[in-house]
Amino acid sequence: MGLREYLIKRIIISIILIFGVLTVNFLIFEAMPGNPLENYISRLALSGREDIQQLVEQMREEWGLDKPILEKYTIYIRNMLTFNLGESVIRGRTKVADLLWERIPNTLLLLGTSSVFAIVIGTVIGVLAAYKRESLFDSSMVLFSLLTFSLPVFWMGMILQGIFGFQLKILPIFGTTSIPPPKDFFAYWIDRIYHLILPGFTLFLFTYGNYVLLARACVLETITEDYVITAKAKGLKDRTILFKHVLRNASLPIITNAALTFGFILSGAIITETVFNYAGMGTLVYNAIMQKDVPVMQGFFYITALTVIIANLIADLAYGVLDPRVRYG
C-alpha cells in the first residue's frame, strides 16, 4: 500500500468515525431521562418572555422534536454537520456555536500553552533520564513525575493558590482577566498571561510526568539497538545520537499520546478551570451539566470528538512521514 492509498484509507475511516460519534451522541441524549423541551419552557417562563409558544414551536420545527426518531436523527445529523448546534437553555436565546466560540480561545490559550510545554519539557527530561539510567537524576525525575502525575489536579491547584495567591500574594487566583480588564492592548495581554500562570502551571505539573515516563520507556527500548552502537563508533555526539536517531525511532508512541492530548484540548480542563474560575470550555460544560443544558452538552461532545478524530488523523499522517514502514501496514 502506497502513501496515497494509506492516506485515503485513513480519511475514509475518520469520516466513518465522525458519523459513528454523531450516532452515539444522538442516542445518549435520546435515552436521557427528562424532557429538555420542558426544561427549556420552564426557563423561558422564569425569564418573563411573552413569546414562549412561538419559540417552542420554532424549536420543535428546527430539531424535529415531534417527529419519528429516524426523521429526528436525520435532522440532527444535518444540523451537526452544518454546525447548527441549537440554542442554550441557560443563556436564553444565545446560539451554542457562539457560546463555544466565545470560550474556545481561552481554552486554547490555557491548554495549548501548558500542553506544549509539558510535551517538550517532559520528552526532553525523559530522553535524558533514559540516557542517564539508574543515576540519581533518573531516579529523582521518575519519582517526581510519578508524584505530580498521581496527585489530584484540584489539590495541586489549591496548593498553588494558597502559596502564590494567599501567602505571597504575587499571582491572581481567579478569573481570566482583571475586572474590568485593561483597555490598552499590551496591558490586556500581560494581564491575561498573569492570570494564566497558576492554572497553566497546575496543568503542566499534572501532564508533563506522563511524557517523562513515556519518553524514558520508549528510549530505553531503542537505545541498545545496533545502529546506536554504530553511530557511537562513527564518533557522533551523544546529543545527536539521542535526539536525531534514538528519539526519532522511539517517537511513535509519543506522537500518539501528543495527538490525544491535543485532541482533547477543546474539551477544556473541567476541574482546573472550575478551581480557578477560568472562563473556558471546561466551566461551560460543567455549568451545562449542572443545569441540564442539553444543546450545549451535545455541541460540546460533538466538537470534542471531532477534534480527537482530526488529531488522530494528523498523527496517522505523521507516522507515514516518520516511519515509511507504516505506509505498507
The secondary structure of 124-177 as a DSSP string is HHHHHHHHTTTSHHHHHHHHHHHHHHHS-HHHHHHHHIIIIIIIS--S--S-SS
Assign 120 a pLDDT band (cuts: 50, 70, 90). Answer: very high
Query: Distance between CA 3 and CA 10 in Å, rounded?
Result: 11
pLDDT exceeds cutoff 80 at 226: no
Query: Distance between CA 125 and CA 197 in Å, rounded?
Result: 22
Give domain status of residue 55, yes or no: no
Q: What is the DSSP letter of 325?
A: G
**Measured CA distances, 268 to 68, 224, 264 (Å):** 35, 39, 7
**More confident site: 255 or 201:** 201
Grid cell digits, residue 258: 501528543
CATH value at residue 180: 1.10.3720.10
Lowest mean pLDDT among 87-91, 149-153, 164-168: 87-91
Lowest mean pLDDT among 4-18, 202-216, 234-248: 234-248
Give domain status of residue 317, yes or no: yes
pLDDT exceeds cutoff 60 at 3: yes
Give domain status of residue 58, yes or no: no
Which pLDDT tens digit goes with each residue over 281-299? 888 888 888 877 778 888 8
Identify the pLDDT of residue 160: 93
Cα 51-83-266 angle, rounded to 5 deg: 115
Give domain status of residue 81, yes or no: no
Lowest mean pLDDT among 37-46, 84-93, 122-131: 37-46
Q: Are the C-beta atoms of 57 and 7 separated by less than 8 Å?
A: no
**More confident site: 253 or 323:** 253
Residue 121 CB partners (closer than 8 Å, separation 6+)? 204, 208, 211
Identify the pLDDT of residue 1: 58
Which pLDDT tens digit goes with each residue over 62-90? 666 667 778 888 888 888 888 888 777 66
pLDDT exceeds cutoff 80 at 221: yes
Identify the pLDDT of residue 65: 66
Domain membership of residue 290 as a residue range: 110-328
Query: Distance between CA 142 and CA 216 in Å, rounded?
Result: 9
Give domain status of residue 177, yes or no: yes
Residue range 229-250: mean pLDDT, rounded? 79
Give domain status of residue 232, yes or no: yes
Residue range 231-245: mean pLDDT, rounded? 79
Query: Distance between CA 270 and CA 280 in Å, rounded?
Result: 8
Give domain status of residue 85, yes or no: no
Q: What is the overall mean pLDDT for the chain?
A: 82
Identify the pLDDT of residue 199: 93
Give the whole-number percent of the chain exceeding pLDDT 90: 16
**Measured CA distances, 50 to 38, 41, 143 (Å):** 16, 12, 62
Q: Are the C-beta atoms of 219 and 141 separated by less than 8 Å?
A: no
Domain count, the chain: 1
Give domain status of residue 122, yes or no: yes
pLDDT exceeds cutoff 50 at 328: no
